[in-house]
Amino acid sequence: MRFQFPLEVLLHVRLLQERQARERLDRAMAHIRALEHSLAEAQQWSEKTARICSSKKRLPAIEVQFVECVLRQTREAAAHCQQQKLDEEQRAAELRADYLLARRERKTVSTLRENALRQFQIEQSRQQQSEMDENFLGKLLYSRNSARRAPDDTKTEDTQ
The neighbour count for residue 158, using CB atoms within 10 Å, is 7
The neighbour count for residue 28, using CB atoms within 10 Å, is 19
Residue 56's pLDDT is 65
Q: Which residues contact 45 (CB under 8 A, 6 or more apart)?
A: 74
Residue 89's pLDDT is 97
Q: What is the pLDDT along the chain (160 residues), one digit of tens a residue?
A: 788 889 999 999 999 999 999 999 999 999 999 999 999 999 998 888 878 777 767 777 777 788 788 888 888 999 999 999 999 999 999 999 999 999 999 999 999 999 999 999 999 999 999 999 899 888 888 888 887 876 655 555 555 5
Give 126-149 pLDDT, tens digit per residue: 999 999 989 988 888 888 888 787
Domain ranges of the chain: 8-122
DSSP readout, 32-44? HHHHHHHHHHHHH
Residue 80's pLDDT is 94
